[in-house]
C-alpha cells in the first residue's frame, strides 16, 4: 500500500473514493501516515444503505440455506488465516498494538467467523406446542440492513464479532469503523467479497462518528445497530434507537476490578494484575484498572508489583518482545497523563509515574503508572481512563473489597486471586460483573 495513495472505501459494494473529508490513519508509534482516505459524504451513506437494502432483498444472500452461508463464512475464516501475517502487520500500523497482540486479534477474527459458520449449520428452529390442529414454529429470520459501529482498540476482532453473526443470519451490514483505525475493516470487506458474500451486502463507511455514525443510526432502513464504544456515545445511540423503536446492542466502557486476597500466590497475582491493566496499553474495556489488595500482604505485593511494572518492555510494536505499545493518539496520551497529573491533588500517591518514562521520536507513548492510596470518590477511581494507569486501594477483608467492587457504575469484568476455592466460588456469585476470572486476569 502506497503511503500517499487515497484508499477507496466500500459504498454499497462499489470500491471508490468517498465524497467527504480526507482523513489519515497514523502509526501511533511514530506519528507517520500509514493510510489516507476520504470519508463518505452523506449522499454516499444514503447510497450505501439503499444498496444494502436492495442487496438484502435481491442478492439471494438472505434466502441461502444456512449451510450455504456457512460455507462462505468458512472461506472468510480461511482467507483471514492465509493472510494472517500481513493483516497483523497492518493492524500494528493502524492501531499501534504490539505485533504479538495483533497476531492474536487476527486469529480471534478467523475463529469468530468459524464459530458463526458452525452456529449457522447447527442452530435449530423449534416446533412449539400447538394450540389447535396446526403446527406452530419459532424460526429465525434476518432483519435487513444492520449497522456495525466499532471502536479503535481492537480492530478486525471487533468487526468480526459484529459482521460474522449478522452475515450468518442473512443480513446486510454497514460497517462504521473508528476514525483512527479504518484499514482492517476495509481489508475484511475485501475478504468477504472474495469469499463470496454478494456485492452490496457489506459496506464500509469510515468517518466521524457524530456525522457518519449518526446518519447510519438514524436511517430508517437500518433495522438494528450493534455498537461497541464509549458509554456516552452508547447512550446517544440508545436514544435514537428508542425513537425508531429499533433494537440495539451496546458494549460500553469499563473500570474493571481485581481483588488480591491474603492467601493468593503472590507472583502469580502480580503477573495477573500486570497483564490485566497493561496489556493493550490499558486501552481495553476490561482493563483491570481498579485493584483491591489485602492490607496484610500489601508491602510484599507492592514491592514485587513495582519492580515488575517498571521492568515492562514498552516500545516498538514491531519488536516481538515488546509488552506494551503506544497509545492510540496524541490526544489519548494527553488525556491519560492529565489523570496522572490530577491524581496527587485527589490524595493519591504516584508510586510509578508514566509521564517520566522517556521515548524517542514522535510516537504517542506513555509509561505505566501505579497510583497508591487512591480515594474511592476521586476521578481516577471513578472514571474510565482507558490507559495504563492502575488505581490501588487497600482492603481489610474480602467483604470490604467485594462491596467496593460492586459499588461502582461499571461492571464489565472482574478477577480474584485467592487459594481458597470456596471464596472464589462465592465471589463468582456475589460480584456484579459480566465476566469473572478466578486466579487469571479478567478474561
**Strand ordering across the sheet containing 257-260:** 349-352, 369-372, 389-395, 290-294, 257-260, 413-417, 435-438
Q: Is 152 in the site for ligand NAD (CB under 6 A)?
A: yes
Q: Is 289 in the site for ligand NAD (CB under 6 A)?
A: no
Q: Where are the alpha helices (DSSP H) in 83-135?
A: 84-95, 99-122
Provide the 10 A C-beta neighbour count for residue 99: 20
Q: Is 279 in the site for ligand NAD (CB under 6 A)?
A: no
> What is the pairing mode between strands 389-395 and 290-294?
parallel
Q: Is 252 in the site for ligand NAD (CB under 6 A)?
A: yes
- 152 Cβ contact list (under 8 Å, min separation 6): 95, 177, 178, 179, 180, 181, 328
Binding span for ligand NAD by CB under 6 A among 187-195, 231-239, 375-383, 424-432: 231-239
Per-residue binder mask for ligand NAD (CB under 6 A), 357-386, x = binder: ---------------------------x-x
Binding span for ligand NAD by CB under 6 A among 41-49, 79-87, 248-256, 348-356: 248-256
Q: Of 179, 251, 337, 384, which residue is the catalytic one?
A: 251
Q: How far is CA 418 from CA 118, 174, 289, 317, in A?
A: 37, 45, 19, 33
> Is 285 considered catalytic here?
yes
Closest CB to ligand NAD among residues 72, 93? 93
Residues 64-123 that bind ligand NAD (CB under 6 A): none
Residues 194-213 that bind ligand NAD (CB under 6 A): 209-210, 213
Closest CB to ligand NAD among residues 236, 304? 236
Give the three-state DSSP class for 321: coil
Q: Is 217 in the site for ligand NAD (CB under 6 A)?
A: yes
Angle in degrees, CA 226, 248, 80, rounded to 5 = 15
Q: Is 182 in the site for ligand NAD (CB under 6 A)?
A: no
Q: Is 325 in the site for ligand NAD (CB under 6 A)?
A: no
Closest CB to ligand NAD among residues 59, 154? 154
Q: How far is CA 333 from CA 29, 119, 155, 327, 351, in A?
A: 12, 41, 19, 6, 19
Q: Is 285 in the site for ligand NAD (CB under 6 A)?
A: yes
Closest CB to ligand NAD among residues 226, 378? 226
Binding span for ligand NAD by CB under 6 A among 73-81, 151-159, 189-197, 371-379: 151-159
Residues in the chain: 443
CA–CA distance, 37 with 34 (Å, rounded to integer)? 10
Q: How far is CA 195 from CA 10, 66, 188, 299, 347, in A?
A: 16, 16, 10, 56, 56
Among 53, 101, 187, 251, which residue sits at the site for ligand NAD (rule: CB under 6 A)?
A: 251
Q: Is 161 in the site for ligand NAD (CB under 6 A)?
A: no
> Is 251 considered catalytic here?
yes
Provide the 10 A C-beta neighbour count for residue 268: 14
The CA radius of gyration of the chain, in Å to the nearest whole number, is 23
Q: Is 159 in the site for ligand NAD (CB under 6 A)?
A: no
Q: How far is the CB of 214 from ligand NAD (least distance, A)?
A: 4
- The residues of the shown chain that bind ligand NAD, judged by CB under 6 A, are 149-153, 176, 178-179, 209-210, 213-214, 217, 228-230, 233, 236-237, 251-254, 285, 384, 386, 412
User: What residues are annotated to the active site?
Assistant: 251, 285
Amino acid at each position: 500500500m502506497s503511503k500517499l495513495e487515497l484508499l477507496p472505501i466500500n459504498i454499497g459494494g462499489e470500491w471508490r473514493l468517498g465524497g467527504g473529508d480526507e482523513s489519515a490513519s497514523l502509526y501511533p508509534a511514530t506519528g507517520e501516515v500509514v493510510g489516507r482516505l476520504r470519508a463518505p459524504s452523506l449522499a454516499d451513506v444514503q447510497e450505501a444503505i439503499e444498496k444494502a437494502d436492495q442487496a438484502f432483498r435481491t442478492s439471494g444472500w438472505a434466502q441461502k440455506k444456512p449451510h450455504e452461508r456457512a460455507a462462505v463464512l468458512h472461506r472468510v475464516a480461511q482467507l483471514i488465516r492465509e493472510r494472517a501475517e500481513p493483516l497483523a502487520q497492518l493492524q500494528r500500523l493502524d492501531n499501534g498494538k504490539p505485533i504479538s497482540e495483533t497476531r492474536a486479534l487476527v486469529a480471534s477474527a478467523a475463529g469468530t467467523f468459524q464459530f458463526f459458520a458452525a452456529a449457522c449449520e447447527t442452530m435449530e428452529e423449534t416446533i412449539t406446542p400447538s394450540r389447535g390442529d396446526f403446527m406452530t414454529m419459532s424460526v429465525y429470520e434476518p432483519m435487513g440492513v444492520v449497522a456495525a459501529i466499532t471502536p479503535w482498540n481492537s480492530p478486525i476482532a471487533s468487526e468480526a464479532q459484529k459482521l460474522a453473526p449478522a452475515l450468518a443470519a442473512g443480513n446486510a451490514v454497514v460497517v462504521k469503523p473508528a476514525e483512527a483505525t479504518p484499514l482492517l475493516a476495509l481489508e475484511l470487506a475485501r475478504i468477504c467479497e472474495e469469499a463470496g458474500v454478494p456485492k452490496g451486502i457489506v459496506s464500509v463507511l469510515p468517518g466521524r462518528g457524530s456525522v457518519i455514525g449518526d446518519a447510519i443510526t438514524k436511517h430508517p432502513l437500518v433495522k438494528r445497530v450493534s455498537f461497541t464504544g464509549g458509554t456516552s456515545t452508547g447512550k446517544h445511540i440508545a436514544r435514537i434507537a428508542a425513537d425508531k423503536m429499533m433494537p440495539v446492542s451496546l458494549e460500553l466502557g469499563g473500570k474493571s476490578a481485581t481483588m488480591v486476597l491474603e492467601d493468593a500466590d503472590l507472583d502469580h497475582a502480580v503477573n495477573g494484575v500486570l497483564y490485566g491493566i497493561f496489556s493493550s496499553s490499558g486501552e481495553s474495556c476490561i482493563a483491570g484498572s481498579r485493584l483491591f489488595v489485602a492490607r496484610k500482604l500489601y508491602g510484599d505485593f507492592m514491592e514485587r508489583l513495582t519492580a515488575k511494572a517498571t521492568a515492562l518492555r514498552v516500545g516498538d510494536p514491531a519488536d516481538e518482545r515488546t509488552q506494551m505499545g503506544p497509545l492510540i493518539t496524541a490526544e489519548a496520551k494527553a488525556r491519560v497523563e492529565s489523570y496522572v497529573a490530577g491524581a496527587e491533588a485527589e490524595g493519591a500517591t504516584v508510586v510509578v509515574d508514566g509521564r517520566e518514562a522517556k521515548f524517542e521520536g514522535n510516537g504517542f507513548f506513555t509509561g505505566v503508572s501505579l497510583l497508591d492510596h487512591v480515594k474511592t470518590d476521586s476521578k481516577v477511581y471513578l472514571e474510565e481512563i482507558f490507559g495504563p494507569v492502575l488505581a490501588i486501594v487497600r482492603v481489610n477483608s474480602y467483604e470490604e473489597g467485594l462491596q467496593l467492587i460492586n459499588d461502582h457504575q461499571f461492571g464489565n469484568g472482574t478477577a480474584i486471586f485467592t487459594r481458597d476455592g470456596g471464596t472464589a466460588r462465592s465471589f463468582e456469585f456475589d460480584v456484579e460483573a459480566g465476566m469473572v476470572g478466578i486466579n487469571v486476569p479478567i478474561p
